A and B are shown apart, each in its own frame.
Chain A
């Protein structure tokens, strides 16, 4: 009798564990993001020239920080990154949020804040030189920290533009947005995007036609902004951020 009882317990345990696996498999376990920089003509690659606003340009650095990532779905929102969790985004970079264990859902909007949260955007006692190398806010190469100012470059594009029509991109251009005034909340909406069971890979698409909208690269005043030295251009780019981002699968 004891033998049958023990067999029953083992069978029950096996059945229960199968049930658990089934529930876990049906849930969303991971959501990862990669980052793509595009123009209306297609995807751009770093270190390769392309046409933008009637000029030939090339970028070597295209990075930005965001935090406070929240996915909008019917009923409730899913927070992937809070205000303490920063993501360094850029071409060839990815970021993953794992062990989510939420039911599949249709993504209808995504909220992010471009920049670095205020209390961490400084060089106080706990400054960026102290952070571990795997911390997104630690010193990076190419640098995402200011060295002449306290805080981070929220958005950094560095490259060159052809200004004399000879086809050679040789005039340096640099767009570094930072400081409290440049922190920007974005709500990215799109048609329903199915976030299914298991692992999901999404692409955060950064549209350069939108980001550099109305920026004439032939004008010297548009060749750089380090925020404080060219606030009109920095504010224009910050405002353009709102229409620059989309999410695709």
Chain B
């Protein structure tokens, strides 16, 4: 009889554990191995229905004023959720002021946007939605539009327990973006113990990347390949776009932009905050030259010698940072 009780208790425990794990898979945001936790606001916990709703919004033209533009116009999945042009086009032939960034690892950034003006991912979508050069629609008008759509309205209620509004729309999109990281690159597999995941050339490039001579990793630190600091990387003597100084109103921040993650960097050109460098070779040459003499230029940019062979090794390493199982 005692054995039977133990059997029942054990069976019940296994059942509860299995049930819990099923829910965990769906409603918990699983950060890929090797990466820090994805940042989530306390007032909007993650759930699968929220991110699924965000995915639908992301690819829906109806979130732009004239129903012509989706988020994916500037953030294409095949380019690591960035695009291939220097600036992107929005409604009414508008053009963005900065280069479209990759969104895949945005969920790890403490401050959002290249100047850090947005304090959390949950609010970021308000910018492209309301920007006259992107979606061009006021968030309250978009909320009304989505409320009028019976299916959208019900889906929002199911996911958030409230209708589409200024709170739920950007949060749905943020939760979708939080699901994008996969950490499935050759580099990730190598770090996880698969020594054959990277080629010898890629490994040489990695050694260069972390070397004292190049010091790339001092700003682009693994595992996210960014410290998310704001730095002036000396691409100009004078900055038309003031960068972080627009937010801080501090002249010592002029020309500072958030250090970009190098994950998927081979897919996300052109480069720099304004897409002013077409190729990664140009970027390497820029850092090798030591950059401009701008007063705010970061001390870590000091120039270095690099051969053509080493440049190719570095480029090979950058390719090894491309996710192999993108979402």
Chain A contact residues, CB within 8 Å of chain B: 122-130, 139, 141, 143, 146-150, 179, 181, 226-229, 231
Q: Does chain A have a CB within 8 A of B119? A: yes
- Between-chain CB contacts (< 8 Å), 30 pairs: A122-B119, A123-B118, A123-B120, A125-B41, A125-B42, A127-B123, A128-B166, A129-B123, A129-B126, A129-B165, A129-B166, A129-B170, A130-B43, A139-B139, A141-B140, A147-B123, A147-B126, A147-B127, A147-B130, A148-B113, A148-B118, A149-B117, A149-B246, A149-B247, A150-B117, A228-B242, A228-B245, A228-B246, A229-B242, A231-B249
The distance in angstroms between the C-alpha atoms of A180 and B126, with both chains bound, is 22
In the complex with contacts A139-B139, A143-B130, A147-B130, A124-B246 CB distance below 8 A = no
CB-defined contacts of B249 to chain A, threshold 8 Å: 179, 181, 227-228, 231
Residues of A within 8 A of B30 (CB): none
Question: Which residues from B are CB-within-8-Å of A139?
Answer: 139-140, 166
- Kindly state the separation between the CA atoms of A226 and B131 in the bound complex, as whole angstroms: 14
A138 to B212, alpha carbons, bound, how many Å? Answer: 51
| CB nearest to B143 among chain A residues | A139
Contacting residues, chain B, for A147 (C-beta < 8 A): 118, 123, 126-127, 130-131
Given A129-B166, A139-B139, A139-B140, output 8 extra A-B contacts at Cβ < 8 Å: A123-B118, A126-B43, A141-B138, A148-B115, A150-B247, A226-B246, A228-B242, A228-B249
- Neighbour of A150 across the interface among B119, B245, B246, CB < 8 A: B119
- Chain B residues within 8 Å of A148, by CB: 113, 115, 117-118, 127
A149 CA / B170 CA spacing, docked (Å): 15
Most buried by A among B43, B113, B126, B140: B126
Nearest CB in chain B to that of A127: its residue: B123
Within the assembled complex, what's the spacing in Å between the Cα atoms of A167 and B41? 51
**Residues of A contacting B130 in the complex (Cβ-Cβ under 8 angstroms):** 143, 147
A134 to chain B, nearest CB (A): 14
Question: Which residues from chain B contact A228 at a C-beta distance below 8 Å?
Answer: 242, 245-249
Min CB–CB distance B231 → chain A (angstroms)? 18
Interface SS of A by simple majority? loop
- Residues of A near B170 (CB, < 8 A) are 129
Contacts of A231 in B (CB 8 A): 249
A125: which B residues are within 8 A, CB to CB? Answer: 41-43
Q: Tell me, rounded to whole Å, the shortest Cβ–Cβ distance linking B119 to chain A.
A: 5
Q: How far is the CB of A169 from chain B (nearest CB, A)?
A: 18
The answer for the CA separation of A151 and B186 in the assembled complex, in Å, is: 42
Q: Which residue of B lies closest to A229 (CB)?
A: B246
Q: Which of A122, A226, A227, A228 has the most CB of B within 10 A?
A: A228
Interface digits, B236-249 against A, CB 8 Å rule (1 contact, 0 not)?
00000010011111
CA of A226 to CA of B139, assembled, Å: 20
With both beta carbons as reference points, the residue of chain A lying nearest to B120 in the complex is identified as: A123
A178 to nearest B CB, angstroms?
10
Among A124, A127, A141, A149, point to the contact of B141 (Cβ < 8 A).
Answer: A141
What distance in Å separates the Cβ of A231 from its nearest Cβ neighbour in chain B? 6
Looking across the interface, which residue of chain B has its beta carbon closest to that of A140? B140
- In the A-B complex, list the 8 residue pairs whose CB atoms are closest, starting with the nearest: A228-B246, A147-B126, A129-B167, A149-B117, A129-B166, A139-B166, A147-B127, A148-B117
| A226–B63 CA distance with the chains assembled, in angstroms | 26
| Cβ–Cβ < 8 Å partners of B117 in chain A | 146, 148-150
Residue in A closest to B240 when the chains form the complex, CB atoms: A229
Q: Which residue of A lies closest to B117 (CB)?
A: A149
- Residues facing A in B166-200 (CB within 8 A) are 166-167, 170
Closest chain A residue, CB of each to CB of B124? A147
Q: Return the CB mask of B25-59 against A: 1 if under 8 Å, else 0.
A: 00000000000000001110000000000000000
- How far is the CB of A179 from the nearest CB of chain B, in Å? 6
Contact residues of B between 266 and 321, Cβ < 8 Å to A: none
A124 CB contacts on chain B under 8 angstroms: 119
| Complex: chain B residue closest to A179, CB-CB | B249
| Given the contacts A141-B138, A143-B138, A227-B249, A123 and B242 also touching, CB distance less than 8 Å | no
CA distance A148 to B138 in the complex (A): 14
Residue numbers in A under 8 Å from B167 (CB-CB): 129-130
Alpha-carbon gap, A145 to B57, bound state (A)? 23
Q: How far is the CB of B56 from the nearest CB of chain A, in Å?
A: 20
Roughly how many angstroms separate A209 CA and B217 CA in the complex, as a whole number?
55
* Centre residue among B131, B140, B245 by max chain A CB count within 10 A: B140
A125 to B120 Cα, complex, angstroms: 9
Contacting residues of chain B (126-173) with chain A, CB-CB under 8 angstroms: 126-127, 130-131, 138-141, 165-167, 170
Asked if residues B43 and A123 are in contact (CB atoms below 8 Å), the reply is no
Nearest-neighbour CB distance to chain A for B16, whole angstroms, equals 33
Nearest B residue to A128 via CB reads B166
CB distance from A139 to the nearest CB of B (A): 5
Instruction: Give Cα A139–Cα B168 distance, bound, in whole angstroms.
Output: 13
